[in-house]
Amino acid sequence: MERKEKFQTSSGIEFPEEFNPENTDINFEDEIAHAGEFPYTRGVRKNMYRGRFWTMRQYAGFATAEESNERYKYLLSQGTTGLSVAFDLPTQIGLDSDDPLSAGEVGKVGVAIDSLEDMLTLFDGIPLDKVSTSMTINATASTLLCLYLTVAKKQNVSFDKVNGTIQNDILKEYIARGTYIFPPKPSMRLITDTFAFCADQVPNWNTISISGYHIREAGSTAAQEIAFTLGDAIAYVEAALDAGLNIDDFAPRLSFFFNAHNNLLEEIAKFRAARRLWAKTMKERFGAKKPKSMMLRFHSQTAGSTLTAQQPEVNIVRTTVQALAAVLGGTQSLHTNSMDEALSLPTEQAARIALRTQQVLAYESGIADTVDPFAGSYAIEELTNKLEQKAVEYIEKIDAMGGMLSAIEAGYVQREIQEAAYQYQRALEKREEIVVGVNRFRIDEDESIPILKVDDAIEKGQIERLRALREKRDKQNAERSIAELSAAAATGQNLVPIILDCVENFVTVGEISNELRKVWGEYREAVTV
């Protein structure tokens, strides 16, 4: 069977026929420190998975809060060790379910959350001091965090016992994903307000999950994923420092979110390179002193963009390879995609198989029994070095442009990702890159598999509950909270306590976002093509 002419990674790093000391430039003594020691190339904990496994966190959310609550309880019963909430598009962009712009999208790609009433239902029977929760939410992250904290308060769980993560990474929305609301400057204010509030009130909460995942899903290379993710992180650190925060007060609660893609060796090296580069950046660029300030802790998710509607069962194999890369690369938390996600939201059976994939790796494969098992491999160490070098080159270009905000506003980052995506698509069309079942090894008819369908009637029911809530809540308290939010948004006051007061008074996600829209306006995307 014929092979391709060039052997190289997504980042253009060529593979020699054999990696050995003669064709690598590796200083093992300098660059391969022990795990748990600066620069953390081999992992952030000394004993890694010998101490405890990564968190097996399955991403889920659809239709109503009640139905999603049932799925969470099912996943927990099957061995999931952390929850990960998917919100529908209206919730992500600060629209209530009865907003005309929400029509047709309520509960479709995640759960609809309009108010505290929905959040209480979502976590009914799930003690928030016993479970770690990740919420994939950005533009409305501060509001959803306040909703979560209010649920904890009603469960008599103190804020210092609450554990989890909000994505809260707005810069990558401007780059790759699109669920932004406000212009960058006020958006960054919401993020730094959250940093400050949680450093004081919610010490075990990860206040941001700086995401390379969506950058990679948009078509970037592995080197671009490292560079643009860390470029965003540098911008957040600079904004927090400009807001008067101390580096070692907030940096230990920064976390990251990376894609686990197909090229096993490149992905393992990518995670190691990102850890090392971040440690150096925090120590040398920002003068961090605490070891935890220099540790790149990350959640990973297998690559949704690699899943195919053709022969969907093959996606189980893809997900296994990608999950293997994440674990061998030292992830702290992992979501494995379900085989049916190119067709629909996951069915219960598909979600169970995805979870079982992680459990087989943890309990049967042996790969968790030793720290960084690929360390010292000529191939892995050379790829780690070269990916770090390429990422540094990108970051230097971004710095020369005035930083990540300037680079985004100029369209530089978007264009780089678009070009990488275009080149990959051309390679697919020429069969220089192979996707099994798509451009080779096709079959005439795919066997159908069960898919999950969200009933359109759910939208009507959600709207009815929302309107009933507005009728029964204390209108005077709700109006007072909204007025205080509007006044504070025009000042430099920390907004998180005020948003917390709003949600406690059953002000909705859409009402909070709309009030801030009035003060700050909305972002309009620049044309980059």
pLDDT by residue (tens digit) across 93-129?
999 999 999 999 999 999 999 999 999 999 999 999 9
Question: Rounded to whole angstroms, how far apart are CA atoms 53 and 207?
Answer: 23
Amino acid at 298: F
CATH 2.60.40.3500, domain 21-429, yes or no: no
Question: Rounded to whole angstroms, how far apart are CA atoms 181 and 94?
Answer: 7
Distance of CA 231 to CAs 212, 227, 245, 277, Å?
10, 6, 19, 11
Question: Is the pLDDT confidence value at 451 over 90?
Answer: no
* 459 sits in which H/E element: helix 457-472
What's the distance, Cα to Cα, between the start and end of the chain in Å?
39
| Tokens 């620049």 sit on residue | 526
Q: How would residue 444 be classed by pLDDT, with cut points 50, 70 and 90?
A: confident
Question: Contact at 8 Å (CB) between 299 and 334?
Answer: yes
Question: Rounded to whole angstroms, how far apart are CA atoms 509 and 369?
Answer: 45
Question: Rounded to whole angstroms, how far apart are CA atoms 211 and 213?
Answer: 5
**pLDDT score at 282:** 98
Question: Rounded to whole angstroms, how far apart are CA atoms 229 and 259?
Answer: 11
Give long-range contacts, CB 8 A cutoff, 24+ apart: 19-28: 19/377, 19/378, 19/379, 19/382, 20/378, 21/378, 24/378, 24/381, 24/382, 25/382, 25/385, 26/378, 26/381, 26/382, 26/385, 28/376, 28/381
Domain residue extents for the chain = 21-429
Question: Rounded to whole angstroms, how far apart are CA atoms 254 and 322?
Answer: 24
Q: What is the pLDDT of residues 170-211, one digit of tens each?
A: 999 999 999 999 999 999 999 999 999 999 999 999 999 999
Question: Contact at 8 Å (CB) between 166 and 213?
Answer: no
181 in helix, strand or coil? Answer: coil
Tokens representing residue 296 in the block: 């790149």
Q: What is the pLDDT of residues 29-59, one digit of tens each?
A: 555 678 999 999 999 999 999 999 999 998 8
Range from 18-32, 150-164, 219-233, 406-420 carrying the lowest mean pLDDT: 18-32
Q: How would residue 454 be classed by pLDDT, with cut points 50, 70 and 90?
A: confident
Supply the DSSP symbol for 159: G
Identify the burial level of 471 via C-beta atoms within 10 angstroms of its C-beta, where 0-12 means exposed, 13-18 middle and 19 or more buried: exposed
Q: What is the pLDDT of residues 491-525, one digit of tens each?
A: 999 999 999 999 999 999 999 999 999 999 999 88
Q: What is the dihedral of CA 417, 422, 427, 431, to 10 degrees?
A: 120
Range from 4-18, 324-338, 452-466, 501-515 carrying the lowest mean pLDDT: 4-18
Supply the DSSP symbol for 18: S
Question: Is the pLDDT confidence value at 2 over 70?
Answer: no
Question: Rounded to whole angstroms, how far apart are CA atoms 128 and 134?
Answer: 12
Question: Is the pLDDT confidence value at 226 over 70?
Answer: yes
Tokens representing residue 257 in the block: 């979110």
Tokens representing residue 308 in the block: 């195919």
**pLDDT score at 33:** 76
Q: Which of 6, 24, 18, 10 is nearest to 270 (CA)?
A: 10
Supply the DSSP symbol for 440: B
Question: Rounded to whole angstroms, how far apart are CA atoms 331 and 54?
Answer: 7
186 in helix, strand or coil? Answer: helix
Q: What is the pLDDT of residues 165-181, one digit of tens each?
A: 999 999 999 999 999 99
Question: Rounded to whole angstroms, how far apart are CA atoms 354 and 58?
Answer: 8
**pLDDT score at 54:** 97
* 232 sits in which H/E element: helix 222-242
Query: Mean pLDDT over residues 425-430, rounded?
Result: 95
Helices (H) and strands (E) in the chain, counts: 21, 9
Angle between helices 509-520 and 475-489 (to 10 degrees): 30
Q: Give the HSE-up count for residue 282: Cα atoms under 13 Å, Cβ half-sphere.
A: 28
**pLDDT score at 410:** 93
Name the phi and psi angles at 27, rounded to 5. Answer: -105, 90
* 125 sits in which H/E element: none
Q: How would residue 26 be classed by pLDDT, with cut points 50, 70 and 90?
A: low
Angle between helices 184-201 and 509-520 (to 10 degrees): 130
* 313 sits in which H/E element: none
